[in-house]
Chain A
Amino acid sequence: MTGAPDVAIRARGLVKRFGDMTAVAGIDLEVARGSVTAVLGPNGAGKTTMVRMLTTLSDPDEGTVSVVGFDVATDANEVRRRIGYAAQDATVDELLTGRENLVMLGELHHLGRRRAKERATVLLEQFSLTEAGDRVAGKYSGGMRRRLDLAATLVATPEVLFLDEPTTGLDPRARNELWEVLDTLVASGATILLTTQYLEEAERLADDILVVDHGRVIAQGSARELKRRIGGEQIRVIVRDRARLDEAVRLVSAAAGAEALVDPDGDAIVVATDGGAAAMAAVGGALADAGVEVDELALRPPTLDEVFLELTGHSAADAAARADAGPGRGPGRGPGEAAA
């Protein structure tokens, strides 16, 4: 046993290289028992590579990992007995029914056939799949597959859960449903490490957020701390008459008390604020007083892209594009997963 019992995951100096490219470049990580940690980063940041090392699927080139006190290098089987892992691409067996998927995994966790069946029934119920339970998983919707995948990770009541981009590729409704399921897991006190490209997701689910880029942790803290670092929310304004854009920028800057900019697409004026709705109202009032017609006026949280721009000086989309251009990409990790 290594590490204090209240530390569920501890990684020190993790490094993983693929040929010349360093996918994970020295990550330290500590996840307390019963806490939820989100690893936030764009496509290609090294999230999957890192999770694979934490879950015994891949050997680190450097560094050490212990999960609930067991070293992944020397006690892989002990670790496997205690973790659940949902890969980025939901790995349900499409030719088996939902129930058969869960029973099989229960048997492979050596629960015995009867207990495996009981467990499958409970999990199907918990994930609202009872009705679909005896249908072949290949016929499930994206959201159902994710839920089944999540249920599959819980078969052996693991002590630590690893979820690699649990909601990527889901439509907003399915994402919301999955979040609700995750909320109950979080509330039940599970220890979870999840990766995501969505700040909103990290904020909703996690106590602690690690922002990663190019295989390094570039920022860490709670959602509130991170947002404070990058200037909180933004007010976004679209004016009807483009001829008055410059005038509007001046008005918005004055009202918000910060420099407003025209976004790269050239239609919206954006300005950072920590004044919330009151600041937005002030901006709206100033524009109305000047007779500038407004098509859109909104307050929104910073996107991952903006977090990145602030933290690294380059955008998340750039980082993902560079990663896409990189060699030797694994299957099923095509484009179309760029940051929100």
Chain B
Amino acid sequence: MSPRRYVGDAWVIARRSLKHIRRQPEMLTDATIQPIMFVLLFAYVFGGAISVPGGGSYREFLLGGIFAQTIVFGCFGIAVGLTADRSTGAIDRFRTLPISRSAVLGGRAIAAVLIGFVPVALMSITGLVVGWRIHSGVLDALGGYALMLGFQFAMIWVGILMGCLLDSPQAVQGVAFTGLFPVTFLASTFVPVNTLPGVLRTFAEWNPVTSLSGALRHQFGNPDVVAGSSDAWSLQHPAVYTLLWAVAIVAITAPLAVRAFGRVAGD
């Protein structure tokens, strides 16, 4: 199968996913409204009670965390989409076509990246409205968005794996609320890690959601807790640490996801 044909096939599948989102925007609005609610809630309700060590605006602190959480949750859309494709027989129909099996995954992944950036864009606008500003240079800021893209790519593999292992959108939701939701809270997403007690603090310090949040704050020139408040290596080098995690996630989940997909698409 020529690469050109492969990309063409994947793009047809990607367009299908984009149409799905247009016809059924609930998925996307869920992924967007929830973080906007968090921005408003934390900026106006809890924000006053949380102080950022070393000074600085809590609203500026907040956005890095919101971005990180949005990116991490980006895996649910593709997971739900795949469970649906499996239960409706769409995967089987694709398999009777003369296309590569992985073009189906590739197309879904392309769409997931494109769709995943909608909430990020909306979050940026919401941030600007509540007083978040980028204080760094253009390159640093672009680096921030590139980092999001990289981590999102990693999370898409997690999503594919979930979509192949779990049997229904409800099961995906279950994993979301019992698994990923807590992980995004035990991090510097909403509060500086040094406010957390003992073990939780250590967990949060090494949590990639913390490093992603921190790296984004750094890239955007927003206040963070790195300086002096913790000597964890992960917090000293948040961007590098985040990228290492992204690489590790892809290295572990991509082969598993491809194998799991081969199984659900097999017999």
A interface residues, Cβ below 8 angstroms from B: 52, 55-59, 77, 80-81, 83-85, 87, 89, 91, 93-96, 100, 104-105, 107-110, 136, 152, 331-332
Contact = CB atoms under 8 A, between A and B. Distances in A.
Nearest to A112: B8
Given A52-B267, A108-B97, A152-B93, 5 more contacts: A55-B96, A58-B266, A95-B20, A96-B20, A96-B23
B93 A100 contact: no
Given A91-B89, A104-B12, A331-B87, A80 B97 contact: yes
A95 B23 contact: yes
Contacts of B13: 108
Contact of B98 (A55, A81, A94, A95): A81
A52 B12 CA distance: 25
Interface of B: 5, 8-9, 12-13, 15-16, 19-20, 23-24, 87-90, 92-99, 266-267
A85 B16 CA distance: 20
A110 B5 contact: yes
A87 B9 CA distance: 22
Contacts of A80: 96-98
A97 B117 CA distance: 26
A82 B69 CA distance: 47
A87 B267 CA distance: 14
A105 B89 contact: no
A58 B96 contact: no
Contacts of B24: 95
Given A80-B96, A109-B97, A109-B98, A87 B89 contact: yes
9 contacts: A57-B267, A80-B97, A91-B89, A91-B90, A93-B88, A95-B23, A96-B16, A104-B16, A105-B97
Contacts of A85: 93, 96
A136 to B, nearest CB: 6
A94 B97 CA distance: 19
A108 B9 CA distance: 6
Contacts of A94: 88
Contacts of A95: 19-20, 23-24
Given A95-B23, A107-B12, A108-B12, A57 B97 contact: no
Contacts of B92: 57, 87, 91
B96 A56 contact: yes
Contact of A110 (B87, B94, B95, B98): B98
Contact of A93 (B8, B9, B16, B97): B16
A81 B99 CA distance: 9
A110 B103 CA distance: 14
B87 to A, nearest CB: 5
A322 to B, nearest CB: 22
A52 B265 CA distance: 12
Contacts of B15: 104
A93 B20 CA distance: 9
Given A57-B267, A108-B9, A110-B5, A87 B93 contact: yes
A95 B27 CA distance: 13
Contacts of B16: 93, 96, 104
A68 B200 CA distance: 64
B263 to A, nearest CB: 12
Nearest to A107: B12
Contacts of A96: 16, 19-20, 23
Contacts of A91: 88-90, 92-93
Contacts of B99: 108
A94 B95 CA distance: 18
A136 B20 CA distance: 11
Contacts of B97: 80, 105, 108-109
A332 B95 CA distance: 18
Nearest to B16: A104
A57 B95 contact: yes
A105 B96 CA distance: 11
B19 A108 contact: no
Contacts of B89: 87, 89, 91, 332
Nearest to A86: B93
A136 B98 contact: no
Contact of B96 (A83, A107, A110, A332): A83
A93 B89 CA distance: 9
Given A95-B20, A110-B5, A136-B23, A57 B96 contact: yes
Contact of B267 (A59, A89, A110, A332): A59
A274 to B, nearest CB: 43
A100 B12 CA distance: 11
Contacts of B23: 95-96, 136
Residue from B8, B92, B266 having most chain A Cβ neighbours under 10 A: B92
Nearest to A93: B90
Contacts of B98: 77, 80-81, 108-110
**3 nearest interchain CB pairs?**
A58-B267, A91-B89, A95-B23
A83 B94 CA distance: 13
Contact of A108 (B20, B88, B94, B266): B94
A88 B248 CA distance: 41
B90 to A, nearest CB: 6
B77 to A, nearest CB: 14
Contacts of A108: 9, 12-13, 94, 97-99
A105 B15 CA distance: 12
Contacts of B93: 85, 87, 91, 105, 152
